Amino acid sequence: MNLKTPHIINEGIEQYQLGELKGNHIHYDFEKILIYLDVKGKLLFGEKFKIHKEDREILYKLCNYQIRDWQNCKKLNIDINKGILLSGPVGCGKTSLMKLIRHITPQYPSFELIPTRNVTFAFNHIGYKIIEQYGDNRFYCFDDLGIEPIGRFFGKDCNVMGEVLLSRHDLYLKYRFKTHCTTNLNAQELEEHYGNRVRSRMRQLFNLIAFDKKCLDKRR
């Protein structure tokens, strides 16, 4: 990446210009971003990947958030200071889109995508240090929130991701460190899984961006 031209991204011998650089500000073009995301998606996930028309609204929100377009985000009721909670049915493409949008802003720090079940499995092996580990100042997207099992360490049960989210909430209040998540669950299911205390803090942590519940499984 050339820091002087962060709006131009190289993929092999090809260049993709996502907008125009005017002074210190990039005026992004959503259609050009979509062209690049389609190319990058095929590189990451294979030739069968494509941008579906029904996903354009979701992508418009995610892209405006990722490029930090304050004006559009305000219109979309998105708080740039919060993280993203991307929800939708199984197979709608949540994980793929979160992996993709990182690539349109190489000038910004990226986040690490962590499956929630891996966090629980690590807790079962190592214990409470895992909760401390993910309660640090790094930038994470926790994938598939709500499908992970309850953790158990030395015979004691623990809702591991619930504790991690409480730690991340503390970090957000003190330092504005953001957290992202994807989930198949709706708000009521999240509250049933994690309790009202965690759910209320999630409202402060996240912007909710949701696929239509009738969205088709793209894996089929």
Question: Number of structural domains, the chain?
Answer: 1
The SS3 call for residue 179 is: strand
pLDDT, tens digit, 9 for 90 and up, residues 57-109: 999 999 999 999 999 999 999 999 999 999 999 989 999 999 999 999 999 99
Q: Over pLDDT 90: what percentage of the chain?
A: 88
pLDDT, tens digit, 9 for 90 and up, residues 10-45: 999 999 999 999 888 899 999 999 999 999 999 999
pLDDT value at residue 219: 74
- Mean pLDDT calculated for residue range 200-210: 96
Distance from C-alpha of 23 to C-alpha of 182, rounded to nearest angstrom: 35
Which is nearest to 208 in space by CA: 89, 115, 96, 78?
78
Q: 96: Cβ–Cβ under 8 A, 6 or more apart, which residues?
A: 41, 44, 45, 49
Q: Residues of 85-102 as b/e, b for ≥16 C-beta within 10 angstroms?
A: bbbbeeebbbbbbbbbbb
Distance from C-alpha of 189 to C-alpha of 192, rounded to nearest angstrom: 5
Residues of the domain holding 137: 8-210
218 found inside a domain: no
Residue 171 pLDDT class (50, 70, 90 cuts) = very high
pLDDT value at residue 2: 60
101 found inside a domain: yes
Average pLDDT score over the chain: 94
186 found inside a domain: yes
126 found inside a domain: yes
DSSP state, 150? P
Q: 141: Cβ–Cβ under 8 A, 6 or more apart, which residues?
A: 84, 98, 111, 112, 113, 114, 179, 180, 181, 182
135 found inside a domain: yes
- Neighbour count for residue 211 (Cβ, 10 Å): 18
58 phi and psi angles, rounded to 5 deg: -65, -45
Which is nearest to 120 in space by CA: 74, 77, 163?
163
51 found inside a domain: yes
Q: State yes or no: pLDDT of 1 exceeds 70.
A: no
155 found inside a domain: yes
99 found inside a domain: yes
- Mean pLDDT calculated for residue range 171-197: 94
DSSP state, 84? E
Q: State yes or no: pLDDT of 217 exceeds 70.
A: yes
CATH number of the domain that residue 16 is part of: 3.40.50.300
